A and B are shown apart, each in its own frame.
Chain A
Amino acid sequence: MAPTVPSPAKSASPSQPSGKSEVADLKQQLRHLAGSRAPDADDQRRDVFKRVISCMTAGIDVSAAFGEMVLCSATSDVVLKKMCYLYVGVHARNHPDLALLTINFLQRDCRDQDPTIRGLALRSLCSLRVPNLVEYLVTPLATGLKDPNVYVRMIAAVGAAKLYHISATACLDADLPAALKALMLSDPDAQVVANCLHALQEIWTLEASNSEAAAREIETLYSKPVVFYFLNKIKEFSEWAQCLVLELASKFLPSDNNEIFDIMNLLEDRLQHANGAVVLATIKVFLHLTMSMTDVHQQVYERIKAPLLTLVGAGSPEQSYSVLCHLHLLVMRAPMLFSSDYKSFYCQFSDPSYVKKLKLEMLTAIANESNTYEIVTELCEYAGNVDVPIARESIRAVGKIALQQYDVNAIVDRLLQFLEMDKDYVTAETLVLVKDLLRKYPQWSHDCIAVVGNISSKNIQEPKGKAALIWMLGEYSQDMHDAPYILESLVENWEEEHSPEVRLHLLTAVMKCFFKRPPETQMALGATLAAGLSDTHQDVHDRALFYYRLLQYDPAVAECVVNPPKQAVSVFADTQSTEIKDRIFDEFNSLTVVYQKPSYMFTDKEHRGPFEYSEDLTNLTVGAEATENVISAQRYQENDNDLLLSTSDKEDNGTATNNGSSASSYNAPSDLIGPPLLSSQTPSETLLINPGGPTNSLQSNFSLDDLLGLGAPEAPAAPPAPALTLNSKPVLDPGTFQKKWGQLALSLSQECSLSLQGAASLMNPQSLIRHMQSNFIQCIASGGQPPNYKFFFYAQKDGATVFFLVECIINTASAKAQVKIKADDGTAADAFSALFQSALSKFGLS
């Protein structure tokens, strides 16, 4: 592809040769040299060619010299040829008519006696990328594939893929894929084989959507004979081709455990390879092969830990970052397996911040009873870091650990020490954390309040921190001696408070304070409501008005709306669904892991976001701003997600759309009473979001509720199944499953039967797994061969942490299933068993 036609402004850059006169000069010289037979002609040509290429690199349009270049190309000097090929390759596409001129000499070179020349010519011929020249391409390619020299065959193999991209029909009509396949399975040279594999994968993957035959060919590529053919000669391949072969192997579905162990034994030494990409590719094979064998899978984790840690420590920061991203993924999947390696994730002062951020996340994930003290001590060191974003992240990390742990005593002290560091951003972050902590552990309020009370709100600039402080002032105004007076002074400065978020919190806090200490707050409340009513921000105004009316209607109702008794938060909202996580894991060793999102989200058109590249530069700049905004908005969201959160974001989106559809609906600020708590949504809080007050029907109340996404954990309209509803997206990792299976006593064991159709359609485990998934029963492991299959399933009771674990052995010949159920809560086991059996018996009927 050619660089775009340069704008005059660009070529005027002082450091680069300037435009037109230069090109004219070059043309002149080339013409002069074209026929020259002087002994030093080749050297002169080289100089001129060099200048042409350097102009081309600088972005100057040298296509005007095309004819002259072609004339000069009749030479035996290989360097000249290469420069000429490069030039032709770049310009042919924009000048298809001129490209025709070069065909002749390229075709002649393809028949040269020197294999290097043949190879180079063939490569250039395929790189012209001009559709109407395809006819000249097919024959040299077909001969190239049969060339006695490896160099030519190697180039021809990739050339076939290039041809496919120019003209798929030409490539298929000439039957090149078949030739490639034959070559792949027979060529003695490893690089030729590898290039054939590259080309075939590319051609058949693209072709698979239009042709059944191609889809079948893809399957043969992943079949046992082909995969083993490659694996057995893996040592002959170059390190890059090894990556390719390993990638192929990771897609192979072994039919029994022996095959799995064979492959792993064969590949184990690859973990010692100096090339990190080979090691990662090997790890992918191991992880994917052992997915169904929980205990072996765990051993694989143990085995790959050391190589991964070595790779992280070696190489450039970019390389170690790419490995660290993968390590991060594994740590997040099985944190407890890494809990003893926490020291490997300590940040070095010189680590770039993108590395530090990943390390912080990993430290947070692997914190458990045994290492929390060390990890938190280390994280506290980072809080004083010069790099402010990292300092913030580490404070948040401390908070996250505090929220995960049962024994938070020491951590609370640390957090409170942060407040004494007297740095604006540290204080702000810490306040947000203390607030979240109090929502989960209200019992700590005394210690925290004492310290928080000493903080002057004047020192806090950041809205999030200030809002958190105000929330605490309102919530604990009975314990904080001067809460009403602090709030009062804040209200006095209402005008200077720029953030609507803070003003909203202030409104609510003053209300709460009023209900707890009416005489002291009455004045302030009046002032607050007055200020709120005259506020220019819609939400603030509306909330003030709403409070005002509510108080007028009945202060008692107002109290139970604004200040209801709260339940402690117990559950985190997980930001990523299990499905997404599994997809990311499936695409191990690719960009997916770095971006932490499945590939369709960044390669498919519809997910790419608002902006596509066009050749037009003006478009580019406009579009550029758009993406920048999107990106920064995303970042903002990610960074500022409250710890307990993420529902608030969804709600905001929900309300936005909601607003459009119904004119009367009220734009509910999501954090009316502090950020919403996922699991402790009390009815009174829901009421608050209700537009017209108590007069509105309960019905609309709930529908709105649903629109806002607050009903998330509710089971989707479940079939009239037994009284038990299951969580549609339970999360349980293999490690925990195994632990639980070991610990729990058997609740139930019985035999039940499958429908005959079901038994007949159970050709492979996948079909049943999918069926059970549609009933919210997840499979964690499966195996076996007809007629006997074994499955391990799990399910979770909706809205509770109760898990059900099932071992199910099915004999398809007799259509019988042996079911063993273990449950966290034995009393629910019967109900679950009924549900499980009904799901099982329906298999194959639909």
Chain B
Amino acid sequence: MPVAASAIYFLNLRGDVLINRLYRDDVGGNMVDAFRTHIMQTKELGTCPVRQIGCCSFLYMRISNVYIVIVVSSNANVACAFKFVVEAVALFKSYFGGAFDEDAIRNNFVLIYELLDEIMDFGYPQNLSPEILKLYITQEGVRSPFSSKSSDKPVPNATLQVTGAVGWRREGLVYKKNEVFLDIVESVNLLMSSKGSVLRCDVTGKILMKCFLSGMPDLKLGLNDKIGLEKEAQLKSRPTKSGKTIELDDVTFHQCVNLTRFNSEKTVSFVPPDGEFELMKYRITEGVNLPFRVLPTIKELGRTRMEINVKVKSVFGAKMFALGVVVKVPVPKQTAKASFQTTSGKAKYNASIDSLVWKIRKFPGQTEATMSAEVELISTMGEKKSWNRPPIQMEFQVPMFTASGLRVRFLKVWEKSGYNTVEWVRYITRAGSYEIRC
């Protein structure tokens, strides 16, 4: 049984039930009390998202200020259950228009009950696609294709498509201007040792797409990845062009992508859903271009003073620039005050996270910036508590740069009416977990 969830609860941080939906009889109505007494009110919270209490297992996750708890009494499929919660939240967000929190739930609880009925029946996940559900569950109320009210606004057989095979797109869409937006979003994860050697580094990227296309278009996407290029060269029997090719470690696709064709021809072809969706995800571990180098020196001068010097170098193209650069340098708890000198940006001491926070709004490529800080510590009596230095963390965004070097080579759109489309491509690289030990 993939999930067979017995119940789903939405709780706020105090443990009040915002929504509960019991799908099966096999758990008692007071399961939520068990969750409160055993997980929320003890230190167990945060130790593990899957916990067994009595005969039931609780799978829970926190999203903003809400706990979503799935209760199962059988040997459930955990991955499926968590994925279900994530998808359900995405669905709710698309209904509420962005935010998912306690207030949004309180304001929309009738809608959520309606949706919970549709997306899961007797504990089995059903259709969670917002595209389809929005056809017959709307915020104004149910728009039934058969009721007389909606006759002025014909909806192409909603219930027929509820379960249809091309579940992600409905027919008969018309746009005046046919546009496709492609965003390549990469996050760089780095773990660098205090000696400056890279311990671990990878890029997880995703291609987000926003389609405003009429009819049933067929799209084909070409990237500069190694396998795709080689296959193409082989098909057209011409040598691979020199230039950088990217080796993708692993790729996953949105369900609209024809995987059989990807495996045989190495091309990404698909009929896209309408609106915004995540086309593919990939992971790269080889040949990552790190956008920033960080060189910290930290000197502890006696017990009450520290000297911190951080130099950050941008190593991407000189014409590009990074936005929203934040460098967080951890300092001991007993920090009293800190004075700074920076070549650019502003720095201050944030006591709530025990860190020096250095912000640079705009950071051009091929430049460097330094911050030197003098930190005064409150001298503590008694045993010396040696300070274990947590890593320096960094946040940034670099538009028009991909750490992997991935580029879109082409995006072709075919539709039987043969309209012209406008394609927009953007690249952006963000910091994932960018950690430098010091």
Identify the A interface with B (CB < 8 A).
1-4, 13, 15-16, 50, 53-54, 57-59, 76-79, 82-83, 86, 90, 113-117, 119-120, 123, 129, 149-151, 154-155, 158, 161-162, 165, 189-192, 195, 198, 201-202, 235-236, 238-240, 243-244, 247, 268-270, 272-277, 279-281, 306-307, 309-310, 313-319, 321-323, 325-326, 343-344, 346, 348-350, 352-354, 378, 381, 384-386, 421-423, 587, 589-595, 599, 602-603, 605, 608-609, 611-615, 617, 620-621, 623-624, 627-628
Q: A306, B250: Cβ atoms under 8 Å?
A: yes
Q: B433, A349: Cβ atoms under 8 Å?
A: yes
- Write out, one digit per residue, whether chain B residues 272-314 have a CB within 8 A of any chain A CB (1) or not (0): 0000001011110000000000000000000000000000000
Contacts of A350 in B (CB 8 A): 433
Query: Which secondary structure dominates where chain A touches chain B?
Result: helix
Minimum-distance CB pairs A-B, first 10: A269-B259, A384-B388, A191-B163, A277-B80, A78-B142, A240-B125, A599-B75, A114-B146, A306-B250, A318-B49
What are 5 inter-chain pairs, A to B, with CB distance below 8 A? A115-B159, A116-B136, A238-B167, A275-B255, A595-B50
Residue of A nearest to B141 (CB): A79
| Also in contact, A2 and B49, with CB within 8 A (given A117-B144, A240-B80, A627-B38) | no
| Also in contact, A321 and B49, with CB within 8 A (given A269-B262, A348-B435) | yes
Question: Counting CB contacts under 8 A, is B244 at the interface?
Answer: no
What is the distance, in angstroms, from B391's C-beta to the closest C-beta of chain A? Answer: 5
What is the distance, in angstroms, from B432's C-beta to the closest C-beta of chain A? Answer: 9
Identify the B interface with A (CB < 8 A).
1-3, 16-20, 22, 24-25, 27-31, 33-34, 37-38, 42, 46-50, 52-57, 59-61, 72-80, 82-84, 86, 109-110, 113-114, 117, 121-122, 124-129, 136, 141-142, 144-147, 159-160, 162-165, 167, 189, 191, 199-200, 202, 204, 249-255, 259-260, 262-263, 278, 280-283, 386, 388-391, 393, 433, 435, 437
A270 to B388, CA, bound (A): 45
| Also in contact, A274 and B281, with CB within 8 A (given A591-B57, A617-B33) | yes
Q: A615, B29: Cβ atoms under 8 Å?
A: yes
Residue of B nearest to A305 (CB): B250
Which of B18, B114, B128 makes the CB contact (< 8 A) with A57? B18
Residue of B nearest to A350 (CB): B433
| Also in contact, A343 and B79, with CB within 8 A (given A240-B84, A313-B189, A614-B28) | no
Contacts of A86 in B (CB 8 A): 113, 117
Q: B74, A191: Cβ atoms under 8 Å?
A: no
Q: A319, B79: Cβ atoms under 8 Å?
A: yes
Residue of B nearest to A187 (CB): B163
A346 to B192, CA, bound (A): 11
Q: A243, B388: Cβ atoms under 8 Å?
A: no
Contacts of B282 in A (CB 8 A): 310
A315 to B281, CA, bound (A): 11
| Extra pairs beyond A57-B20, A314-B204 (12, CB < 8 Å) | A82-B142, A155-B121, A198-B1, A238-B163, A243-B2, A269-B263, A275-B255, A307-B252, A310-B204, A352-B46, A591-B50, A617-B30
Q: A317, B74: Cβ atoms under 8 Å?
A: no
Which of A244, A314, A423 makes the CB contact (< 8 A) with B281? A314
Q: A3, B113: Cβ atoms under 8 Å?
A: no
Q: B121, A123: Cβ atoms under 8 Å?
A: yes
Q: B165, A190: Cβ atoms under 8 Å?
A: yes
Q: B53, A83: Cβ atoms under 8 Å?
A: no
Q: A385, B388: Cβ atoms under 8 Å?
A: yes
Interface centre among A13, A82, A149, A235 (most CB of B within 10 A): A82
Which of A57, A116, A353, A614 makes the CB contact (< 8 A) with B142? A116
What is the distance, in angstroms, from A552's C-beta to the closest C-beta of chain B? Answer: 46
Contacts of B437 in A (CB 8 A): 381
Residue of A nearest to B113 (CB): A86
What is the distance, in angstroms, from B50's C-beta to the closest C-beta of chain A? Answer: 5
Contacts of B262 in A (CB 8 A): 269, 272
| Also in contact, A201 and B78, with CB within 8 A (given A77-B141, A189-B163, A190-B165) | no
What is the distance, in angstroms, from A233's C-beta to the closest C-beta of chain B? Answer: 9
Q: B2, A603: Cβ atoms under 8 Å?
A: no
A316 to B87, CA, bound (A): 12
Contacts of B46 in A (CB 8 A): 352-353
Q: B55, A613: Cβ atoms under 8 Å?
A: yes
Q: A190, B78: Cβ atoms under 8 Å?
A: no
What is the distance, in angstroms, from A582's C-beta to the closest C-beta of chain B? Answer: 16
Residue of A nearest to B198 (CB): A343
Contacts of A275 in B (CB 8 A): 83, 255
Q: B278, A272: Cβ atoms under 8 Å?
A: no
What is the distance, in angstroms, from B193's C-beta to the closest C-beta of chain A? Answer: 8
Contacts of B252 in A (CB 8 A): 272-274, 279, 307, 310
Residue of A nearest to B84 (CB): A240
| Also in contact, A309 and B250, with CB within 8 A (given A343-B199, A613-B30) | yes
Contacts of B167 in A (CB 8 A): 238
Q: B54, A612: Cβ atoms under 8 Å?
A: yes
Interface centre among A238, A344, A628 (most CB of B within 10 A): A238
A151 to B136, CA, bound (A): 12
A378 to B193, CA, bound (A): 9
A528 to B146, CA, bound (A): 92
Contacts of B42 in A (CB 8 A): 628
A385 to B389, CA, bound (A): 8
A609 to B54, CA, bound (A): 7
Residue of B nearest to A79 (CB): B141
